[in-house]
Amino acid sequence: MKQVILTGDRPTGRLHVGHYVGSLKERVRLQNSGLYNEIYIMIADAQALTDNAEHPEKVRQNIMQVALDYLSCGLDPEKSTLFIQSMVPELTELTFYYMNLVTVSRVQRNPTVKAEIQMRNFEASIPVGFFCYPISQAADITAFRATAVPVGEDQIPMLEQCKEIVHKFNTVYGETLTDPQIILPQNQSCLRLPGIDGKAKMSKSLGNCIYLSDTEEDVRKKVMSMFTDPNHLRIEDPGRVEGNPVFIYLDAFSRPEYFAEFLPEYSGLDELKAHYTRGGLGDVKVKKFLNRCLQAELAPIRERRAYWEQRPEEVFEILKAGCETAQNTAAATLGDVRRAMRIDYFEDSNLLK
Ligand code: ATP
Ligand code: MG
């Protein structure tokens, strides 16, 4: 079977290091593994509009920013199709048909939808489009016949819902859609990177992010201001590493070679954690090390961003070509869907049969 990847991000802001460890890094690894026949990376502008209907300019401005973040992280337009969701109207049509296969109460039970409704303080005024976004996400995934969807942990309920739609569609209309598998980051601490404020998730909407495009100085300031163990007041105090964002970030970003280079007095992360736990290790020292690790990870990304920022016309052309490729694939799937649903009236004089 053809191996296909579909994943994406909402253009509601520049991408941050949570996106990087949760999904982007994995995408680049999979892209370069050579195991996939097709890779589609979507800038989900239509989805972003479901809770930003009054801010179209924000969504528009962030299309380029997200595209620059993609290219900076090593997504390669020769290997991956980068495209914009709303430029593929077939996705909207698929969404409309899938809506009939999902109940309101099923969407209401989706834990990610519940959490996001609460986070956005929608209360009784939830836009219908926002409520339906898990269904539109199923359309995105199935339109490309994705077999693999590399995403962060918050997307598990979305993939479950998508698989249910695939199953229901295939049961009602005959085997048509491809069943996708979720690919989560291998490193536990990358499943859901917390914010620098210690909140459970680094998120554009919460303003607690280290952005991939932050300057060296921005990153340093953010790291030095990070939330740590509130009971670790003096250096001598024993500290907690569990749930401590600085140590979660070290789990996500430190590598043995960074210890050798920046903190050779420790053999590795286990020894650093043990010292912090028993007391005698200050937050400032740990944060300075984390800053060195992050700067080392971000340096090549920054360098590539500087390259692409000088070439906006090329980025524009990459997106335009990507939209065309994506539309061709989605149109073929939509054709299969219409045929399966018996609404392909003018194909082969079908209406006469
Ligand atoms: P918004 O606040 O607008 O929803 P977001 O920061 O949650 O933005 P999305 O565009 O919704 O970002 O998410 C894109 C991808 O990045 C998804 O696969 C998601 O699982 C992953 N992701 C987002 N935030 C994190 C995080 N803090 N840790 C790990 N993965 C993340
Ligand atoms: Mg989100």
Atom of ligand 1 nearest to the CA of 10: 10
- Residue type at 147? T
**pLDDT confidence band for 205 (50 / 70 / 90):** confident
Atom of ligand 1 nearest to the CA of 152: 20
- Expressed in angstroms and rounded, the spacing between residue 203 Cα and the centre of ligand 2 is 7
User: Once rounded to an integer, what is the mean pLDDT over residues 107-131?
Assistant: 89
Helix 312-340 vs helix 56-73: angle between axes, to the nearest 10 degrees? 100
- Expressed in angstroms and rounded, the spacing between residue 10 Cα and the centre of ligand 2 is 7
- Expressed in angstroms and rounded, the spacing between residue 128 Cα and the centre of ligand 2 is 17
- Residue type at 104? V
Q: Is the pLDDT of residue 210 over 80?
A: yes
**pLDDT confidence band for 118 (50 / 70 / 90):** confident
CA dist., res. 111 & res. 155, Å (int): 10
Tell me: the pLDDT tens digits for 220-241?
Answer: 999 999 999 999 999 999 999 9
Tell me: the pLDDT tens digits for 270-304?
Answer: 999 999 999 999 999 999 999 999 999 999 999 99
The predicted structure's pLDDT at residue 208: 95
> What is the overall mean pLDDT for the chain?
95
Residue nearest atom 5 of ligand 1, based on CA coordinates: 203
Least confident of 121-125, 163-167, 243-247: 121-125
User: Once rounded to an integer, what is the mean pLDDT over residues 66-78?
Assistant: 98
The ligand that comes nearest to the alpha carbon of residue 8 is 1
**pLDDT confidence band for 122 (50 / 70 / 90):** confident
The ligand that comes nearest to the alpha carbon of residue 9 is 1
Of 97, 79, 76, give the one whose Cα is nearest residue 143: 97
User: Once rounded to an integer, what is the mean pLDDT over residues 71-80?
Assistant: 98
Q: Is the pLDDT of residue 200 over 90?
A: no
**pLDDT above 90 coverage of the chain, percent:** 89
Tell me: the pLDDT tens digits for 298-315?
Answer: 999 999 999 999 999 999
Tell me: the pLDDT tens digits for 144-169?
Answer: 999 999 998 899 999 999 999 999 99
- Expressed in angstroms and rounded, the spacing between residue 237 Cα and the centre of ligand 2 is 37
The structure tokens listed for 328 are 């061709």
Residue nearest atom 13 of ligand 1, based on CA coordinates: 9
Q: Is the pLDDT of residue 324 over 80?
A: yes
- Expressed in angstroms and rounded, the spacing between residue 18 Cα and the centre of ligand 1 is 7
CA dist., res. 122 & res. 35, Å (int): 42
The ligand that comes nearest to the alpha carbon of residue 50 is 1
Tell me: the pLDDT tens digits for 180-190?
Answer: 999 998 888 88
Contact of 50 with 84, CB cutoff 8 Å: no
The structure tokens listed for 173 are 């209309």
Ligand 1 contacts (CB < 6 A) are 9-10, 12, 18-19, 22-23, 151-152, 154-155, 192-193, 201-205
Of 63, 12, 51, give the one whose Cα is nearest residue 133: 51
